[in-house]
Amino acid sequence: MLTFAHGTLAHFYVANGVLGVGQGMVISCMAGLVVAAVPPEQTGVASGMNANIRNVGGSIGAAVSSMIITAHVGSDGVPAESGFTWAFGTMSATMAVVSLAALAIPSMSQERLVETLAATPTSSADDALTR
Q: What is the pLDDT of residue 121?
A: 60
Q: What is the pLDDT of residue 128?
A: 47
Report how far apart, in Å, the C-alpha atoms of 56 and of each of 43, 50, 51, 109 are. 20, 10, 9, 30
Per-residue pLDDT 10s for the chain (131 aa) are: 878 887 888 988 998 899 899 888 888 888 888 888 888 888 899 889 989 998 998 899 999 999 999 999 988 889 888 898 999 899 989 989 988 887 887 666 556 656 666 666 655 544 544 54
Give the residue from 74, 78, 31 showing the smallest Cα distance to 50: 31
* Burial per residue of 64-74, b for 16 or more beta-carbon CB atoms within 10 angstroms, e otherwise: ebeebbeeeee
Helix axes 110-119, 9-37, angle to 10 degrees: 40
Q: What is the pLDDT of residue 112?
A: 61
**pTM, entire model:** 0.64
Burial degree of 87 (CB within 10 A; 0-12, 13-18, 19+): buried
